[in-house]
Structure 1
Amino acid sequence: MSWVRHLPRAMTESSGHTSNPAESALADLATRMSQQEQTLPVLMEQLNVTNQRYQRLETVLQQLQEQLSSTASGSVPAPATAAAPAFGTEPHAHASGGVVSPGPEALGSPEITHFRSAPPRQCPTFSGEFEDCFGFLLQCRLAFEDSPRSFPTDSMKISFIVGLLRGKALRWAEAKSRNPNFLSGSYPDFLEDFKLTFCSSETTTDIRKRLLHLSQGRRSVVDMSLEFRTLAAMTSWGDDALKAAFIEALNDRVRNQLALCPEPSTLDGLISLCISIDKRHRELQKTPFRDLSPPAVRRPSHRSPPLDSPEEPMQVGRTHLTPEERQHRYSKGLCLYCGKPGHMVHTCPAASKGRAHQ
C-alpha cells in the first residue's frame, strides 16, 4: 500500500468549500496586473495632455514677457495669439473609466486672467556718460526687483538694458553683438564688462582729493552741498573731517559770516546754517538800494542884477544892440548905452537913472 493512501483526504482532494491559497494569490495578482496594463495607457495619455498644457502656458508666458520688454523699449507689438489651455480644465472621462484628451474647444486660446505681472518701471536711457553709469544700473536693478516675473532669465535682463542704450553706449552694444552669445550670455559677465567700459574707476583716494579740492565759487551753497554729499557718501570720513572740508570749500563771503555764528555740532547742521547764510546774502543782492539819509535843504539863491558892461550895452528902450550898431557907436565915439556923444557908458546919466529906479 502506497503512503499516499494514508494521507488525510483534505490534502489529496479538493473540496468545493475550500481552495488552494497559492492559486488564489496567483489569480489575484494576474487580475491586478491586467488592470494595471489597461490603466497604463490612460496615465500616459494624461501625462501627454499635461505636458502639452505646460508647453503652451510656457509659450504664452514668454510672449507676454517679450511684450513687456518691447513696451519698455518704446515699441508695442501686436497681441499674442498663441493657444493655451484654460486653467482648471480637467480631461473628459469615458463611461468605461478611461480618460481622453480635451477637444479643440478646451485647448483653445482663452485669455489668462488669473494673475497679472507688474510692468517694469520706466528707466532712463543711457548714452555712455561716466557720471550716469551707476545711477542707470541702479534704476535697472530696481526694475528687475520690482517685476521679477518679467525678467526670469539673464538674456531678458541683458536685452532690457541694451534696449535703453543710446549714442556711444549703443555703438558699443552693436560692436559686442557681433558675438552670437552676447545677448544670451551670463548677466553677471555682461554687467562686469559694462562697468569696466562705462563706469568710472575712481579710487577712494581720487574721491578724497576731489572732496578736498571742491570749491563753491559762484554757485549757491545748495548746489555745492549736493556735490559734497555725493562725494562724502563714497568716503569713510567722520563728521569732523567732513565739516572741515565743507568749510574749506565755502567762498569768503559765507565763511566770514559763518565765523560770527556758533559752531554747529553736526555736518547736517553746518550745511543748513551755510545754506541760510547764502540764501540771505542772495536775497539782499536782489533788493534795490534805497538811500535812507534825509534830503538836503535847498536854499534860495539871490542873484544880484548884472552890471552893465560894454559887451552888453543897452539903449534907453533896454534892448540889446546889434553888432552893426555897436560897431557904429565905437567908431563915432558915441555912448553905448544912450547913443549920445560926449560921455561913455560908465558916466552915462541915463544909465545912472536906470540903476536908481531898480
Structure 2
Amino acid sequence: MTDQVIQQPSAGDMPAADPTEEFQTPAAQRQAHTLDIVRAGLSDHYASHVASVDILRVHQRVYSRVLDCDLHLADGARHRVMIKLYEPIGTGTKARLANLVSDDFAITTRLHHHFQSNPRFRVPVPLFHSPEDLVIVTEFMPGIQLQEKLIARAGWFPGQATVQDLELNCRSAGEWLREFQKATLDSAPDGLNLGRMREMIAMRLQWLVDDANIPIDASKRARLLAHFDSEVSSLRPEDRAVSSVHGDFFPGNVLVEADRVVGIDFAMCRVGSIAADPSYFMFQLETLTYKPQYRRNVIRSLQQAFLQGYDPMLSAEHYFNSSPIVRMHFILHNVMRLAGMSAPKTRLPLKKRMHNWGVAIAVSKRLLANARPR
C-alpha cells in the first residue's frame, strides 16, 4: 500500500498533552498523549531525557500514521526515529491492533538479532513499543522505498543503466526474502491452512458476484473455486512447506540503497505458505503492467531479477504456472485485487473508474483463462 505523505512543520519542543484544550481534535490529543509515552520510553532507552521531538513528515496509512521524527536529547545527542501510531477503526479493533503491535515488535527484534551482522540485509532497529497505546518506535533506516523508485524510474522507456539498477534492487529484495525465510523456518509448525485460504477466496468472490461492475457471476465463482479445489488435490509434499510470512511483502515495504535492503512493517507477519511472499511480490510487480507507462518486457526483467535472488531455478515467464501452490496464490492475489476495487467507499473520478473497469475485465479474463481444465 502506498503511503500518503504529509509534510509537517517542525514541532520543536512539544508540550505535554492537555486534553482540556478545546482546539485539539481527538486525534491530535491522542497523538500528543502517545508522544509523551514515547518520550518517556525513549528517555529510558537512551538513558537521557528526550528534550524535544521534531516531526519531519507524516506518512498516512489506512490503519496507522507513521511519524518521521528527529529526537533531541538532554545530553546533546540527536536520533532519527520512526514512530508508528495505529489508529483503531470500528468496534473491537483496538485489542486486535494491540496484538499486532506486540507481534510486530517481537518479530522485528528477532530479525534484528538475526541480521545485525549482515552488511547487506537489515530490518529497522526496534527501540520501544506500547501495545496499550498502539505505538511502536524503530530507528530510522536510510534508503528509498523500492515502490517509489519503480514508479519514478521504470516507466515509459528507461535506459539500460536504469533497468540494471532496478534489477539489482529487485534481485537484492529476492535475496533478502530468502534469508528472512531461512531465519524463520524453525518457528513454523507443520501444516498449511488451506481451508482458511479457500474461505478468503470464496467470501471475496461472493462480494464480486454481488457487484455489477465486476465481471464475475455465480457460475464463474463456482468455476474458480472448483479450479482451486483441483489444485489442492494436486499438491506435492514440497508445496506444503511453511515458514513465517511477511504478509505484505511488496516493493513498498522494501527500502533499497545500492545492493542493500531493509525489510519493514511486520505487523501482518504470520505462519503460512512459503510461496505466499514471493508470489505476492511477483504479483505486485505485474500489476504495474496495467498502466500504459510500464512496458511488460521491463517489468518481466525485474520479475526475473527478483526470482534470480530468491530462487535462480524459477522462471518469471512461467512462474505463475510453476506449481499447484503458486497457482493457488495466483487465484488468491487476483481475487483480493478485484475485491479491493469492488464497491469503493467514496465515488471515484471518472478516469479512475474507467481504469478500474478495464483492470477488472483484464484480471477476470486472466483468472478464468487459468481456470480452464488442463
TM-score bracket, normalised by the shorter chain, equals under 0.3
Which protein has greater RCO, CA pairs closer than 8 Å, 6+ apart?
A: 2
TM-score, scaled relative to structure 2: 0.18
Larger radius of gyration: 1
Q: Which has the higher strand share?
A: 2
